[in-house]
Structure 1
Amino acid sequence: MESTRIDRWLWAVRLTKTRPDAAQACRGGHVRVNDKPAKPSTTVVPGDQVRARVGDRTKVVEVVRVIGKRVGAEAAATCFIDRTPKPPPEIPIARRDRGAGRPTKRERRELERFRSQQS
């Protein structure tokens, strides 16, 4: 069975921009393979689940194919299945800009209507 290092695989499938970024993410504890913390040298095989914090989002992917060299975006997309849960919908917050003065009658009614819907 074929395997490769996790830092190399993250870079090859374009989840990180550079291989040192992937290694740094592993050292920082932002990468887990099968729910275990991963070092840059941790090997991955098809079927493994990889959870990586990329930027401000956490990506959950399943390894389908192991590659060691960086490939085009279309080819890279065939190497994993994205199992990342959808983010929860953002709830608007009734807030006025600081220093905007007193709310007008219309704005006050809209705020009251919005707050009554939230309760």
Structure 2
Amino acid sequence: MCVADSRATTPASAEGAARPSAGNLVPALHGAFRAATDGVLTAAASHCVPEALRSPGLAVVRTGRAPARFACSLLFGAARTVWGHRAAPAGATAAPAGCAAFSLTLRPGRPPRAPRTPEGTATA
């Protein structure tokens, strides 16, 4: 049984270097996603769980994340089947990038600064 090499190849430029493509960005973005979520989600959830229940509470968070990743892999497989091997990775690259850009609009602004008083004056 012969298995074809599934790695995507990109045409070389005039200098001989490969051009970046969406297929190259997807693994990089997925790695950044994993690095950001594994520690950040656990740290964020640890403040919401009482200390006595911290271990089982964080286990529930991590267990809930596993089916979500599984569902995402199924959806990506379906998208790749329907849209093809070039459009699906491009969509998988654009969607998280768009979500990240949108999330910047949801961040609260800086709190207002307290008025500065000249040195040597008493404040009430």
More helix by share: 2
TM-score tier by shorter-chain length is: under 0.3
TM-score, scaled relative to structure 1: 0.27
Instruction: Look at both structures and tell me which one has the larger radius of gyration over its CA atoms.
Output: 2
